[in-house]
Amino acid sequence: MPYSRSQGLRLRFGLEGTRTPVESLDLASLGRALVVLAHTDDEINTIGLLSRLSAAGVAVDLIVLTDGAANKSTDETVVGARSHFECRRDELHAAMKELSITDAVLPALPDGKLGAHLDAATTVVSVELARRSPGLVITFDPRGLNGHPDHIAANVVTRRALATATRAPALAMISPPPPFSWALGSGFRSPTPPTIATLTLTSDERERKARVFEGYRSQWKTLRLMTAGLPPRAFFRLFPAEWYVWLRADAAREWARP
């Protein structure tokens, strides 16, 4: 698929594509959204959009592909007698209540090794695409938002599943907004400039995001890296933006196909 070599640089500095506020999109027409993530707590990165979808009456379903058991910084005092997977599953269920999400598929593939289980993960996503027929799929951008290998694998899996899906949904890829994009980039490439859907968290959304963040008590040491040690409310007040590489259904199908 041909593309400009400078496209990645332009995306990195916010100069590529058409910026469109999420509130200008017809979210209600999407009907249902399917979120494909690598770990419980990854949904923190998209709480603004999930909140807007819920407010528009869109049903949101969630797939978390790994068991989240490989993090050596997990707080064992929080885990207690549970397995790491059971602890993180319980924390996810609390987050789902905050976000009005009623259903999650948890195949519990090995954390940190999702790239070695692409076929199994693709099957999971393909089955859910066929069963739920979402109007929108949300996942990470090709660089995995922050370069995490499992996040990158989640993008690969989603792309493979979309390439063979009977119905083509729109696609929203979680992408770092400036200033974080300057260092991280998105890894997205296409022959035509994408739409960049932008969102600024409201005070209610910032509070919801902070509560979900704080609910992952077993992951506190790792999550503090996300906020550079700042309290979550302070961090989300300073950096309230969410950005998405947003592809309409036809563009998503074209991008997904090799």
Model-level pTM? 0.94
Q: Which residues contact 187 (CB under 8 A, 6 or more apart)?
A: 8, 141, 142, 143, 144
What pLDDT is stored for residue 193 in this prediction? 81
pLDDT class of 45 with cuts at 50, 70, 90: very high
Domains and CATH numbers, the chain: 7-256 (3.40.50.10320)
32's tokens: 């249902």
Burial level of 77, CB count in 10 A (0-12/13-18/19+)? exposed
Q: pLDDT above 90 covers what percent of the chain?
A: 84
What pLDDT is stored for residue 60 in this prediction? 97
What pLDDT is stored for residue 192 in this prediction? 77
104-115: b (≥16 Cβ within 10 Å) or e: bbbeebebbebe
Tens of pLDDT, residue by residue over 61-99, are 999 999 999 999 999 999 999 999 999 999 999 999 999
